[in-house]
Structure 1
Amino acid sequence: MHPVRSLLLAASENRWMRANATRLPVFRKAVTRFMPGERLEDALDAAQVLAQQDRIATVFTRLGENVTEMAEADAVTDHYVEAYGRIAERHLDTQISVKLTQLGLDIDKARCRDRVRRLAARAAEQGSILYIDMEQHPYVDATLELYHAVLAEHRNVGVCLQSYLYRTEKDLQAIVAAGGAVRLVKGAYKEPESVAFPKKADVDASYLSLARTMIGPAAKATGFRAVFGTHDTTIIAAIQQHAQATGVPRDGYEFALLYGIQRSVQQQLARDGYQLRVLISYGDYWFPWYMRRLAERPANVWFVARTMFAR
């Protein structure tokens, strides 16, 4: 693993940094590259600009994880229900993506599942898909168990899978068979070599292999939805080429890129007629997420350093 990536991932897990870094002006200034603000209103404003200027759809996620009280999990759920209402008021094409540990997975799995059902039902009222984020590898089994349970009742739910995990090929096959939806990412947590590919080349090869399955004939037959969450232009081009060669239309899959990263690529994808969503994160619990975003591409560190210390 790249030494800078290792350092950034270690920082994302440091309790002192998580508790204190968000109050430091130097970090608050730098994070604005990746998120429009901490409030739902900031995310709504950013989504409206993207929709009006470039006709780009969006996905919202409120940052946070591992709540310890039921009241916290209920408050997060209520917040997302309110967010759906605010999205409808502005007539935005915006989905929501949630973390299960933010909905109480660590406390009570059954009640967490009920909260996801509530959000899936609310999303369905707006003709939208609810996505479930994937967290560290110890949560994969519980996340997928809950996902399949909710998918059996609500067809408008998807889940995130990570190409750096060895197990993902098998997990994907099960979701394809069930006619679900997957947003595929490389993976942003610090994982042991016993469960995840340590080399970037292997992670990339896994991503492309999984991508081919996601837009293959078996996936089409079950109504599976394919979403590719990546900023890697080499991988984006390879997916486009494979899709064209196998007769998969541009509206047969979707790309998902993060707010503030490779804006020109986002605009080009939209102009070329590809399905595209930009993921907008907000909330005050942003430090771990921010470190993981930097770790995905260590070259971003120099850019951010210049931003942090520019006058």
Structure 2
Amino acid sequence: MMRRTFLWASTNPWLSRRLPERRFVRRAVRKFMPGETLEHALGEADRLGGEGVPTLITMLGENVETVEETRGTVAEYTRVMELAEEMGLDVEVSIKPTHLGLDQGADVACDNVSELAAQARGRGTLWIDMEGSEYTEATLSLFRAVRSRHENIGLCLQSYLRRAAEDLESLIELGPRIRLVKGAYSEPPDLAFPAKSDVDANYLALARRLMDHLADGGDGFLGLGTHDPAMIGPLSEYAAAAGLDGGRFEIEMLYGIGRRDQRRLVWNGTPLRVLISYGDAWFAWYMRRLAERPANVWFVARSMFR
């Protein structure tokens, strides 16, 4: 019930206007993002880099309304990559298709993402995030189109979708760079597994399938986007047994969540990358983070009374 409530709130226009004005909400969101500006994000990337932790940066925003707005997004991500390089940081970039024009047309999104992929060459992977299921097919087509021109492109797959295994099989011969997550949108049961146990089982199966492909000499990369110890522990062991190093496998965790676990992974030599988000369009993203981890609601509650 709590998860459904937060997912509903993430799409409510009235709440998206009103709640960000509340001081306790703005204070609580700082747990998950260092600030709204790129300088905040790069400052934390610099600090984490000093601890031996590379980062992944995303600017919050989705479903822009005009082609002109998409060009602003391209310009901002160009700035991310240029400043990160100037600072000598190991930073990769993650983008949302609807932030780069998927609603304005497949050609618009493809041109924008291809431009960023070209700029990212030599700077790591440009990751395409996955949004709600209404965009899944279009996002897969976008990935294939850009991947035909640029090999340094990665794609997010969501294990709560029933189609995820079929999608992975359709991509695997491309030698895909995949970030595997459980999924954070509200989806009907005919499209997504409603039971957590089924989502977890599919997550493990998808990860092992791609690891087996890599261990057999196949091209590609796997980033495990999770904070769940039941996923991290067994799959880290599976990766080690398969001989996968940091060039083919890593754990990807969100900034501010599970910091002790992040330090433990670094101490154990497990490849780790931390995702840092920034920007002022954080409300829907923040509600989805609370839906993923209802325990964080208590952090918000404590913030109300400070």
The answer to whether the superposition gives a TM-score over 0.5 is yes
Structure 1: which 4+ aligned runs deviate by more than 6 Å? Answer: none
2:104 aligned counterpart, secondary structure: coil
Per-residue deviation, residues 270-309 of structure 1 (Å, max 9, x unmatched): 1211211100000000010001001101111112211232
Please say if residues 163 and 207 of structure 1, whose CA atoms lie closer than 8 Å, have aligned partners that are also in contact. Answer: yes
Please say if residues 252 and 272 of structure 2, whose CA atoms lie closer than 8 Å, have aligned partners that are also in contact. Answer: yes
Scaled by the length of structure 1, what TM-score is found?
0.95
2:159 maps to what in 1?
163
How many angstroms apart in 1 are the aligned matches of 2:145 and 2:211?
24
How many angstroms apart in 2 are the aligned matches of 1:202 and 1:108?
34
Per-residue deviation, residues 37-79 of structure 1 (Å, max 9, x unmatched): 0000000001001111x21000000001000011111101111
Scaled by the length of structure 2, what TM-score is found?
0.97
1:92 maps to what in 2?
89
Please say if residues 215 and 244 of structure 2, whose CA atoms lie closer than 8 Å, have aligned partners that are also in contact. Answer: no
Q: Which amino acid aligns with 2:149?
A: E
2:105 maps to what in 1?
108
Determine which of 173, 176, 183 is the counterpart of 1:177.
Answer: 173
Q: CA deviation at 1:138?
A: 0.7
How many angstroms apart in 2 are the aligned matches of 1:133 and 1:49?
25
Q: CA deviation at 1:222?
A: 2.9
1:9 maps to what in 2?
7
Q: Which moved more, 1:299-308 or 1:83-92?
A: 299-308
Please say if residues 177 and 219 of structure 1, whose CA atoms lie closer than 8 Å, have aligned partners that are also in contact. Answer: no
How many angstroms apart in 1 are the aligned matches of 2:171 and 2:223?
13
1:73 maps to what in 2?
70
Q: Which amino acid aligns with 2:239?
A: A
Q: Which amino acid aligns with 1:91?
A: G
Q: CA RMSD in A?
A: 1.3
Identity in percent: 46
1:254 aligned counterpart, secondary structure: strand
Please say if residues 160 and 184 of structure 1, whose CA atoms lie closer than 8 Å, have aligned partners that are also in contact. Answer: yes
2:263 maps to what in 1?
267
Q: CA deviation at 1:250?
A: 5.9
Determine which of 243, 246, 253 is the counterpart of 2:249.
Answer: 253
How many angstroms apart in 2 are the aligned matches of 1:223 and 1:279?
24
Please say if residues 214 and 226 of structure 1, whose CA atoms lie closer than 8 Å, have aligned partners that are also in contact. Answer: yes
1:22 maps to what in 2?
20
